[in-house]
Structure 1
Amino acid sequence: MNNILSVVLDLDGTLLNTQREVSPRNLQAVLDCHKNGIQIIIATARPSRSVRMLLPEELLQLGCIIYYNGAHTVDSSYQSEDHVLIDHETVSDLYDAITARSGELLVCFEAQDAMFSNRSLASEHFDILGMPSDAPVPTVLSREEISRLCPSKLLFPNVQNIYTELKSSFSHRVKLILTDGSRLVQIMNSSVSKAGALGQVLSRRGLHPDQAMVFGDDYNDLELFDLCGYPVAMGNAINKLKIKAARITETNDDDGVAAVLEALLQSRSIQQDS
């Protein structure tokens, strides 16, 4: 663990507790790592506007955030920004397939740091989408307007396991992920992943993936666990992550991130003193 030079943090279910807050202990541990020369990289499914609402200002200034599961990366330390979109034709075909299966299903589209949808949100959708109650509601678009979108991501509830049907039909064209207790389907460009985006970030910094510690809890973190040298699964993580983990920490409500980062800093301190 003493070769760790970067820490990669998922947000929901990981750094954020169930109230979608960063605890004082987690915040201090992350900032202490940064002060000790460990590079902090955030990798989340969320868009930038949502991250700005949820994270303390100190964490927003640490240099690199990967959004939309890797579809949008802002590496301000290197004045670099990457954005990978889904093309018009694929969006139109996906939307037709979704509405053919369930015409009443809510479908949301993330484009240009704004959310759009095919219908108004019901109260239960806020929880499924991970949206704070005071977040701006999506702009409702017509079918014609939807066909002109090139979004970063599509999101919709996994009603009647529509995920399985779409994966069978579209896995060669897009990246499909099932998250949030199998309740939410997320779709990105086929080339997109947190791991792909992180690989570019680490290369830019002259770091090897073996020097990265990563924390995660859900399916969209699996490729990160395969890439990074020291994967840490949260106590509330899915079993597939726990199997791959070098360490299983406490849950996101019990400061699992801080527990490992404090041990990392203590280990480095002992090594330096010896």
Structure 2
Amino acid sequence: MKFPIIVLDLDGTLLNSKKEISDRNYNAIMDCSNLGMKFIFATARPPRAVRSFMNEEILKVGSFVYYNGAYIDCKHTGIYKHISIESEVTAELIDYCLNCNPDLDLSLEVKDEWITLREYDYSTVMQVKDNPIVKPLEELKRLEASKILFSGKIDMISFQEKFKMKLNILITDNGNLVQVSSPKASKENAVAALCKG
């Protein structure tokens, strides 16, 4: 077989502008799967978001890379991997950010759980259906996060200088959202691990 594995991103690739899989794309995936081709879906999104976009048939044929490689879920090979931010670095980042701006909108993703410090209507800011679970500061600082997200005013040059050797830092949504993950986490590494499995 010329292409035994196909890797697809979601946003801007598999999903259309309405965040849907077109009939054409769905049929192509199912036809390729019936020929024995394997699929890896690699995204920055969390598992719950992926489940909301994809039907059961697509979920069954794929292996999944979430949070840009920080979390791998493959029922076919039994590979489950979490490449997290160490809790000490999580605590350092939270302290630094909140010292810079106590009102910063900061939240953590841990596998498929979204956690924050205070009640906030994220549906208007991040265009999501659900809001995160609220937990105390000390509990957040002990977590090994898949991803840390924040928005609000902060000196990004100083932030990047301080954390560039410890974290992957991605600025998205026209500069309004900062997404942070382990430097060991990448789609490339996750796909390579799945291909070996």
Q: What is the distance in 2 between the residues matched to 1:81 and 1:160? A: 36
Tell me which amino acid in the other structure corresponds to 2:137. Answer: R
The one-character-per-residue Cα deviations of 1:168-220 (angstroms, maximum 9, x if unpaired) are 1101111112233433211111211111111111222xxxxxxxxxxxxxxxx
Does structure 1 conserve the Cα–Cα contact (< 8 Å) formed by 2:43 and 2:66?
A: yes
Is residue 2:183 matched to residue 1:184?
no
Does structure 1 conserve the Cα–Cα contact (< 8 Å) formed by 2:46 and 2:111?
A: no
Q: What is the distance in 1 between the residues matched to 2:134 and 2:172? A: 24
Does structure 1 conserve the Cα–Cα contact (< 8 Å) formed by 2:41 and 2:62?
A: no
1:120 Cα deviation from its structure 2 partner: 2.3
Give the structure with the higher percent helix: 1
Q: How many aligned residue pairs are there?
A: 196
Tell me which amino acid in the other structure corresponds to 2:124. Answer: E
Could you say what the CA RMSD is over the residues aligned between the two structures, in angstroms? 1.9
Q: What are structure 1's unaligned runs of at least 5 residues? A: 205-274
Q: How do 1:106-145 and structure 2 match up within 5 A?
A: 106-122=105-121, 123-127=123-127, 131=128, 133=129, 135=130, 137-145=131-139
1:162 Cα deviation from its structure 2 partner: 4.6
Q: How do 1:4-19 and structure 2 match up within 5 A?
A: 4-19=3-18
Q: What is the distance in 2 between the residues matched to 1:12 and 1:163? A: 26
Counterpart pick for 2:158 among 162, 165, 179: 165
Q: How do 1:225-240 and structure 2 match up within 5 A?
A: none
**Aligned CA distance change for structure 1 residues 24 and 182 (closer, same or farther; 3 Å):** farther
The one-character-per-residue Cα deviations of 1:33-83 (angstroms, maximum 9, x if unpaired) are 222232211001122122112211111101410111111111211112111
Match of 1:266 in 2: none
Q: What is the distance in 2 between the residues matched to 1:151 and 1:91? A: 7
**Aligned CA distance change for structure 1 residues 56 and 117 (closer, same or farther; 3 Å):** same
Q: What is the distance in 2 between the residues matched to 1:165 and 1:19? A: 37
Does structure 2 conserve the Cα–Cα contact (< 8 Å) formed by 1:15 and 1:26?
A: yes
The one-character-per-residue Cα deviations of 1:231-269 (angstroms, maximum 9, x if unpaired) are xxxxxxxxxxxxxxxxxxxxxxxxxxxxxxxxxxxxxxx
Tell me which amino acid in the other structure corresponds to 1:144. Answer: E
Does structure 2 conserve the Cα–Cα contact (< 8 Å) formed by 1:163 and 1:185?
A: no
Match of 2:147 in 1: 153
Does structure 2 conserve the Cα–Cα contact (< 8 Å) formed by 1:107 and 1:119?
A: no
1:100 Cα deviation from its structure 2 partner: 2.1
Is residue 2:162 matched to residue 1:203?
no
1:160 Cα deviation from its structure 2 partner: 4.3
Q: Name the % identity.
A: 33
Q: What is the distance in 1 between the residues matched to 2:35 and 2:99? A: 54
TM-score w.r.t. length of structure 2: 0.89
Tell me which amino acid in the other structure corresponds to 2:126. Answer: F
1:144 Cα deviation from its structure 2 partner: 1.4
The one-character-per-residue Cα deviations of 1:98-145 (angstroms, maximum 9, x if unpaired) are 122222111110114210012223343232xxx2x3x3x111222212
Q: What is the distance in 2 between the residues matched to 1:140 and 1:48? A: 19
Match of 2:38 in 1: 39
Match of 1:243 in 2: none
TM-score w.r.t. length of structure 1: 0.66
Q: What is the distance in 1 between the residues matched to 2:43 and 2:109? A: 14
Q: What are structure 2's unaligned runs of at least 5 residues? A: none
Does structure 2 conserve the Cα–Cα contact (< 8 Å) formed by 1:152 and 1:188?
A: yes
Q: What is the distance in 1 between the residues matched to 2:63 and 2:185? A: 17
Tell me which amino acid in the other structure corresponds to 1:116. Answer: I
**Aligned CA distance change for structure 1 residues 192 and 162 (closer, same or farther; 3 Å):** farther
